[in-house]
Structures are given as structure tokens and as C-alpha cells.
A = this chain, B = another copy of it.
Amino acid sequence: MFSVTVRDHMMIAHSLRGEVFGPAQRLHGATYVVDATFRRASLDADGIVVDIGRAAQALSAVVGELSYRNLDDDAALAGTNTTTEVLARFVADRLADRVRAGDLGDGARELDGLVVTLRESHVAWASYERSL
């Protein structure tokens, strides 16, 4: 199994609902350093998993939709608790949409899966893994 990973980041404000979140129930914010890993059983004719330039552009576009925003006001996330886990899935699902739409090239339709990791600090991060 092969994989290729590209890294980008986003800076957002949000608050979390639920006693379990303690002080994070208040409006605060985070930088998420976002790693998107594309997995594939075999390489294409060029010897790659995916066009890394297009993969980086797709990740940049997805995090760009969330960047410099207060997620509490984002219609696409209304009624959602925007935990790191939930945001990892959100980014992964949006990337999967772009793979299916052909934004990463025709070859990207051969991808087997996707892992998205959001690092919220030097001591905590979350991941979501899905098939494609």
C-alpha cells in the first residue's frame, strides 16, 4: 500500500456545546495543521499515488472555505459540534467530493482511501480515516 500526504493549515473560531468541554464551551479558536493522506494499492503509469500539486490545491481549497471564520456562524456546520474529530471528517468528506468530481485528475478515482489529521497543538491531534 502506498500513500502521499500534503500539509496545510486553517485558523478558526468556534465554541463547543456540552459540559464535557469545560472552558472550551466559551468562544475561543484554534490553528489546525491539517495533513491529508491519500492511499492507493498501486501506482499509476507516472509512478505516483496522486498529482501532488492538485492534491495540495484541493486541500488548500477545502481548508480555505473554513479559514479565518467563526464556525459557529457557518451555515454548512449549523447544529454541528465542531470538535477536532468532526472537523477531520468534514475535511475528509469534502476532499472525497473533490476526488469524485475529478478535481484531482482522472487517476485519483483509483484512490482507495483518505486519512485526515488535524493537529490542534503540540500535544493533541485527531484523525479520521475513510475509504474512497
Contacts and interface: CB of A to CB of B under 8 A. Distances in A.
Interface of A: 1-9, 11-14, 17-18, 20-24, 26-33, 43, 46-49, 51-53, 56, 67-70, 80-86, 88-89, 105, 120-129
A3 B88 CA distance: 10
B29 A30 contact: yes
Query: How many copies of this chain does one complex carry?
Result: 6
Contact of A129 (B1, B85, B123): B1
Given A4-B125, A28-B29, 19 more contacts: A2-B85, A2-B88, A3-B127, A4-B124, A4-B126, A5-B125, A11-B29, A12-B28, A20-B48, A23-B68, A26-B69, A29-B31, A31-B31, A31-B121, A33-B121, A43-B86, A47-B86, A49-B85, A52-B124
A8 B30 CA distance: 14
Contacts of A124: 4-7, 52, 56
